[in-house]
Structure 1
Amino acid sequence: MARVEETLKQELIDLLQGEKIVSLITTDKKTKKPNLSIVSWLVAHQDGKTIKFALGHKAESAFNIEETPDLLLGVVGAGSCYSISGKGTVSDVIDKTMKYRIVTVDVESVEDVIFYGGQITQEPDYIKTYDAELAKKLDEEVYEMLKK
């Protein structure tokens, strides 16, 4: 049986410094059923208890978290799969190059959830298919906000 931790281990903190595919599971505001989305603008803070991620200002996930702050983050990396449970708070709209909302997650538990005998040997990867200069500008802007 997997051991449940109350904070992120350093290996996960190091992994979660942006540009990762992370599953976000919230409770749908209307249906009250689980809602899955993907985030990549995400930073784990060195305290092991805080993760921040950015969403577009009209993201359904932001409205879901405002209604029901309990959430899960699913992470594939650091040799395994992790379920990070916490409570999220959503910022007001931040108007920069685009409009954002920052979600601050207070980590409550971290569980290694890979099946018995499994080990991740390759992390998921992706490319951005929009304007490279805009992508760079947005990334710099967002990560500056998330690291505060």
Structure 2
Amino acid sequence: MAKILDALPNELVESLQGEKIVTFITLDKETKEPQISAVSWVLAQPDGKTIKIAVGHNAHCASNVQANPQVTLGVIGAGSYFEIKGNAEVSDIHNGTMKFRVITVSVQSVEDVMFYGGKVTAEPQYEKTYDAELAKKLDQEIYDVLKQ
């Protein structure tokens, strides 16, 4: 059985420095069923105790967190697949190129949940399909806020 940690290991902190597909699981505020969101504006703090995620200002996952702060993140990184559980809070709306909110996750537990004998040899990649200059501007604004 894998060891459960109370903070992200350094290799995972390094992996969660933005532009990474992360599965963000919340409980739907109405149905109470798990809801999955794919997020990519993600920044782990150096101490491994906090992860900040940016989402659109009307994101369903943000209203779910406001109703129930318990969240789970699924992360491919550091050669494996990790389950990160924590409590989250949602910021007020940030106005910029787009309106967004920051969800701050206080890490409670980190567990390597990769199946026995498996190792991740390549991480998922994606590309942004909208205007490249707009994407660059938006990324800069959001990461400036996430680093605060």
TM-score of the superposed pair, with normalisation by structure 1: 0.99
Structure 2 runs not aligned, ≥5 long: none
Equivalent in the alignment of 1:32: 32
Equivalent in the alignment of 1:119: 119
- Matched residue SS, 1:94: coil
Aligned-partner residue type, residue 142 of structure 2: V
- Matched residue SS, 1:48: coil
CA distance in 2 between counterparts of 1:3 and 1:21 reads 24
* TM-fit CA distance, 1:47: 1.2
**Two-structure CA RMSD over aligned residues (Å):** 0.4
CA distance in 1 between counterparts of 2:133 and 2:40 reads 18
Structure 1 runs not aligned, ≥5 long: none
Q: Does 1:96 align with 2:77?
A: no
User: What do residues 52-94 of structure 1 show as CA deviations (whole Å, max 9, x unaligned)?
Assistant: 0100000000000000000001001210000000000000111
Alignment of 1:5-84 (within 5 A): 5-84=5-84
Query: After TM superposition, what 4+ stretches of structure 1 lie above 2 angstroms from structure 2?
Result: none
Equivalent in the alignment of 2:86: 86
CA distance in 2 between counterparts of 1:22 and 1:146 reads 16
- Matched residue SS, 2:104: strand
CA distance in 1 between counterparts of 2:94 and 2:46 reads 24
CA distance in 2 between counterparts of 1:57 and 1:81 reads 29
CA distance in 2 between counterparts of 1:38 and 1:107 reads 18
**Number of aligned positions between the proteins:** 148
* TM-fit CA distance, 1:100: 0.5
- Matched residue SS, 1:95: coil
Aligned-partner residue type, residue 83 of structure 1: E
